[in-house]
C-alpha cells in the first residue's frame, strides 16, 4: 500500500515538474497562458475497515488548469501586431472558405500574405466582420477572412471643392493692380491643391485672394475680397480658370475691362459683414439719390467654366469637366489667414495600398496613395462563458467545448470583449520568479516521494531477510 502511495506522489511531482517546465519553456511565446497542476487526494474505505484509522491512498492529478489573466504588453513597429485588452479572443481559420471551423487565440502577431489577406505566422486566416462603407458599422456578425485590396478605385474627375477658411479683416490692398497671377505684388494670399481629370491625371489648382476696398459697399464697413483661380497643365502652363458669369450676380463679378467691347469675368468677389460672416444681402434704397439697388447675398457656391473653355489641355480626358467651389462657413475675423479645409470631394486617381492601421474598435483602415482612407472590415472577437473549459491545441490555439460553452461573437470596446491595441503584442503571463519557486517545490516533492519509496523498499528487504 505504502509503495503505491509513494508512486502516486512521484507521479504527481513529475506532473508538477512537467507543467512548470512547460510554463518556463513558453515564457517568450506571445499569447501563451500559464498552466497550473491541481491535485486531489485518493481515499478509499470499505465496510470491513475502520474509517477512523484508514489512511489515504495517495494523490492524483485533478486537472491541469490554465490561468487566463492578461500578460504584459510588448510594443512593436508593426501596425498589424494586435493585442486584446480584455477577455476576448481573436478567431482564426485554417480555410478561408470555411470560417465556421475556427480556433481562438490571444496571439495577435498577424501579417499580410501574398494575396493581401490577414494571416498569422502559421498561415491561419484572421476572421473579421464586413462593415457598411457609409456608416462604418458592422453589416453582419458572420465572421469571415479579411482581405485588403492593394488597388482602390477607378479614376474620377474633380467636381466639387469644399473650402473653409478665414480671411484677415485688416489686410491692405496689394501694391499693384489689376490682378496678375504672375505678379506676386498683385495679390495678398494664395493656396494650391491637386485636382484630377476623368483619366486620373493630376493638375495643380492655385487660388489667389486679393483684398479690396469697396467704397460702395453696404454696409460701408463691409470688407471685400476678390478670388481668382488657375490650373497648371502638366507642361507647366498656368491657365486662368474663370467663373461662369451666368451663375454669379453682377455685384460679385470681377470684370476685366481692358477690352471695353468684350469685358471678361475673370474672378468673383466674397463680401463679409461687420460680424465677419458672408454678407447676407440687403434691399437697397430706391428713394436715395441716386437710387441704391439691392445687393444679393454673397454667393457660397461658384460654378466655374469648363476646362475646354479655359484652354486647359486634358490630353483625351473629358473636356467638359468643370468645378464648383463650395464655401463652407468662410469667415473674416481679426486673426491670421487660415485655410481650415480645401477638400476635393470627387476627384481621385487610382490608389495603391500604402498603409494599414487598426483602431481600438478593431476597424481595419487601409490608406491608399490617392489619399483615400477606407475601412475594409472590423476584427472579430469572441469570448466564452468558461475559459477553463477551452481545449488546448498548441500554437496558442484553443477550441470551444461543452464545458467552455459556445463562442459568443462581438467586436472590440463592447462589453467585456476588450479593446484592440495596434502595434502591441501580449506576452505570456508567466511570472518567472514564481515558476522557479514552483520548480524547486516540485523537485523537493519528487525527492521526498523517492525517499518514501526507498524506505518502503528497505522495509520489504528487511521483512524478506527475517528467518
What integer pLDDT is reported at residue 51 of this predicted model? 63
Average pLDDT over the chain reads: 87
Tens of pLDDT, residue by residue over 355-403, are: 899 998 899 999 988 777 889 999 999 999 999 999 999 999 999 999 9
Average pLDDT over residues 9-28: 88
What integer pLDDT is reported at residue 442 of this predicted model? 85
- pLDDT at 220 exceeding the cut of 60: no
What integer pLDDT is reported at residue 424 of this predicted model? 94
Average pLDDT over residues 328-340: 93
Tens of pLDDT, residue by residue over 84-107, are: 998 999 999 999 999 999 999 999
In words, the CATH class of domain 160-349 is mainly beta
CA distances from 25 to 12, 94, 120 (A): 20, 26, 21
Tens of pLDDT, residue by residue over 416-461, are: 888 899 999 999 999 999 989 988 988 888 888 777 777 777 777 7
HEC sequence for the chain:
CHHHHHHHHHHHHHHHHHHHHHHHHCCCCCCCCCEEEEEEEECCCCCCCCCCCCCCCEEEEEEEEECCCCCCEEECCCCCEEEEECCCEEEEECCCCCCCCEEEECCCEEEECCCCEEEECCCCEEEEECECCCCCCECCCCCEECECCCEECCCECCCEEEEEEECCCCCCCCCCCCCCCCCHHHCCEEEEEEEECCCCCEEEEEEEEEEECCCCCCCCCCEEEEEEEEEECCCCCEEEECECHHHCCHHHEEEECCCCCCCEEEEEEEEECCCCCECCCECCECCCCCCECCECCCCCEEEEEEHHHHCCCCCCCCCCCEEEEEECCCECCCCCCEEEEEEECCCECCEEEEEEEECCCCEEEEEECCCCEEEEEEECEEECCCHHHCEEEECCEEECCCCCCCCEEECCCCCCCCEEEECEEECCCCCHHHHHHHHHHHHHHHHHHHHHHHHHHHHHHHHHCCC
What integer pLDDT is reported at residue 451 of this predicted model? 79
Confidence of residue 127 (pLDDT cuts 50, 70, 90): very high
Listed by start position, the domains of the chain span: 2-69+429-464, 73-153+352-426, 160-349
pTM of the model: 0.64
Average pLDDT over residues 233-245: 89
Average pLDDT over residues 196-201: 91
What integer pLDDT is reported at residue 10 of this predicted model? 81
Tens of pLDDT, residue by residue over 52-78, are: 666 777 888 888 888 999 999 999 989
Tens of pLDDT, residue by residue over 246-295, are: 999 988 999 987 777 778 899 999 999 889 999 998 887 888 778 878 88
Tens of pLDDT, residue by residue over 148-189, are: 988 877 888 999 999 999 999 888 889 998 899 999 999 999
Amino acid at each position: 500500500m505504502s509503495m503505491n502511495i509513494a508512486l502516486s506522489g512521484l507521479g504527481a511531482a513529475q506532473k508538477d515538474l512537467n507543467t512548470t517546465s512547460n510554463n518556463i519553456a513558453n515564457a517568450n511565446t506571445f499569447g501563451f497562458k500559464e498552466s497550473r497542476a491541481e491535485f486531489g487526494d485518493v481515499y478509499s474505505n470499505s465496510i470491513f475497515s475502520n474509517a477512523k484509522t484508514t489512511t489515504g491512498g495517495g494523490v492524483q492529478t485533478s486537472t491541469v488548469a490554465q490561468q487566463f489573466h492578461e500578460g504584459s504588453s510588448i510594443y512593436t513597429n508593426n501596425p498589424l501586431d494586435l493585442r486584446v485588452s480584455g477577455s476576448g479572443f481573436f478567431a482564426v481559420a485554417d480555410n478561408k472558405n470555411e470560417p465556421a471551423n475556427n480556433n481562438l487565440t490571444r496571439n495577435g502577431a498577424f501579417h499580410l500574405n501574398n494575396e493581401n489577406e490577414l494571416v498569422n505566422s502559421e498561415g491561419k486566416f484572421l476572421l473579421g466582420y464586413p462593415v457598411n462603407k457609409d456608416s462604418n458599422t458592422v453589416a453582419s456578425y458572420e465572421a469571415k477572412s479579411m482581405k485588403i485590396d492593394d488597388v482602390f478605385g477607378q479614376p474620377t474627375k474633380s467636381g466639387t471643392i469644399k473650402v473653409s477658411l478665414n480671411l484677415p479683416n485688416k489686410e491692405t490692398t496689394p501694391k499693384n493692380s489689376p490682378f496678375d497671377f504672375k505678379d506676386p505684388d498683385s495679390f495678398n494670399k494664395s493656396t494650391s491643391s491637386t485636382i484630377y481629370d476623368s483619366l486620373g491625371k493630376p493638375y495643380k489648382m492655385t487660388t489667389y485672394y486679393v483684398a479690396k476696398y469697396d467704397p460702395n459697399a453696404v454696409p460701408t464697413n463691409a470688407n471685400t475680397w476678390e478670388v481668382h483661380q488657375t490650373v497648371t497643365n502638366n507642361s507647366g502652363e498656368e491657365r486662368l480658370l474663370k467663373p461662369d458669369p451666368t451663375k454669379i450676380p453682377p455685384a460679385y463679378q470681377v470684370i476685366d475691362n481692358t477690352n471695353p467691347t468684350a469685358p471678361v469675368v475673370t474672378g468673383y468677389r466674397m463680401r463679409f459683414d461687420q460680424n465677419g460672416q458672408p454678407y447676407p444681402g440687403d434691399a437697397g434704397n430706391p428713394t436715395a439719390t441716386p437710387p441704391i439697388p439691392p445687393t444679393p447675398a454673397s454667393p457660397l457656391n461658384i460654378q466655374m467654366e469648363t476646362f475646354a473653355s479655359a484652354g486647359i489641355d486634358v490630353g483625351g480626358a473629358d473636356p467638359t469637366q468643370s468645378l464648383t467651389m463650395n464655401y463652407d462657413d468662410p469667415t473674416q475675423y481679426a486673426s491670421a489667414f487660415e485655410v481650415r479645409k480645401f477638400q476635393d470631394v470627387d476627384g481621385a486617381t487610382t490608389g495603391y495600398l500604402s498603409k494599414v492601421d487598426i483602431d481600438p474598435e478593431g476597424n481595419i483602415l487601409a490608406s491608399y496613395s490617392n489619399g483615400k482612407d477606407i475601412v475594409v472590415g472590423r476584427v472579430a472577437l469572441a469570448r466564452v462563458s468558461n475559459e477553463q473549459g477551452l481545449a488546448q491545441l498548441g500554437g496558442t490555439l484553443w477550441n470551444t467545448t461543452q464545458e467552455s460553452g459556445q463562442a459568443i461573437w462581438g467586436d472590440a470596446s463592447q462589453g467585456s470583449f476588450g479593446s484592440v491595441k495596434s502595434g502591441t503584442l501580449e506576452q505570456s503571463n508567466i511570472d518567472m520568479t514564481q515558476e522557479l519557486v514552483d520548480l524547486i517545490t516540485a523537485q523537493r516533492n519528487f525527492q521526498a516521494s523517492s525517499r518514501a519509496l526507498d524506505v518502503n523498499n528497505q522495509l520489504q528487504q528487511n521483512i524478506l531477510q527475517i528467518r
